[in-house]
Amino acid sequence: MNKENFAFKIGDFTCTAISDGSLTYAPPVFPAPTAFLFPNAPKGILEQVLHEHNIQPEHWTEWISPYTCLMINAEEHRVLVDTGADGLGPNTGNLLQNLQRQGVSPRDIDTVILTHGHPDHLGGNTTLEGKPIFPNARFVMWKSEWDFWTSKQSEQIIKEHGMELLLSIAHKNLLPIQDMVTLVDNESEILPGIRAIATPGHTPGHMALTISSKDEQLLVIADAFIHPIHIEHPDWYAAIDAIPQQVVNSRRRLLNLNTEKTVVSAFHFPFPGLGHILQKGEEWKWQPILKVN
């Protein structure tokens, strides 16, 4: 397996996890990893869990997060889920070159689904000149998410730290596609086999997806869970989660939608971000997989 593209099948759909690169989260730009990812976790329990994951809390000074987008060949449609973080950091913005390695040009994409409005998920929508990078695509976003980023709502919820950057990237990448976007406000099929799932909390209109073909299912959780430890402790929200109680509720709903046969795609988990969520009693655990049959 290379670290740029990983192809797998879900029924008749051919899917590819595509790396956009990674970003290092560390002070002074971001809080320390424990404060960024698990600010409400009890310290003693958190330290124990980190040790179980071979993480030494006292030495965990930075978190390097992969950014993994998803392409789906769904019959006659070529779908891209999220567009990465072009320009956000020195190791981001690799989506286009990794698409090209698959023989796919931006003009081949006919549907772009944006799970939410953070810079690492829509930063590849437009060029520096504000032109759509995927000129033939219909963009799909949850209506409340679009409204949040294109109105004054975001200024009332986003913390002052980082607000200017978040808003500027959202406006740069959303406003130029406003005539290309379809806004959804209910759980329905975006395309045959691809269904929108409301999972607010990380952002007000965060959206997950189910991808179904034949008897197989892929659950795209996007940023509902940011770190594998969030699977084990869904009540531990992240500092970047805008509405903590909602994200906890959305996580529990996704866990209830999951079965042990469901393949799960997570944007920030180690590449290719694919695995199963295993349940034992009232507990869950992330089991990464390197190959999907």
Task: Give all domains of the chain, ordered by start, each with its CATH number.
Answer: 5-288 (3.60.15.10)
Residue 194 burial (10 A CB sphere; 0-12, 13-18, 19+): buried
Picking from 110, 83, 87, 115, the residue whose alpha carbon sits closest to that of residue 99 is 83
Task: Indicate the pTM of the whole model.
Answer: 0.95
User: What pLDDT, on a 0 to 100 scale, did the predictor assign at position 163?
Assistant: 74
Residue with the bigger pLDDT between 155 and 67: it is: 67
Distance (Å, whole) CA 59 – CA 46? 14
- Tell me how far CA of residue 59 lies from CA of 33, 36, 162, 235, in angstroms: 10, 15, 26, 24
| pLDDT score of 260 | 83
Residues whose CB is less than 8 angstroms from the CB of residue 66 and which lie 6 or more positions away in sequence, other chains included: 19, 21, 22, 268, 269, 270, 271, 273
Rounded to an integer, what distance in angstroms lies between the CA atom of residue 229 and that of residue 285?
8
Mean pLDDT of the chain: 94
Residue with tokens 């949040």: 148
Query: At residue 156, does pLDDT exceed 80?
Result: no
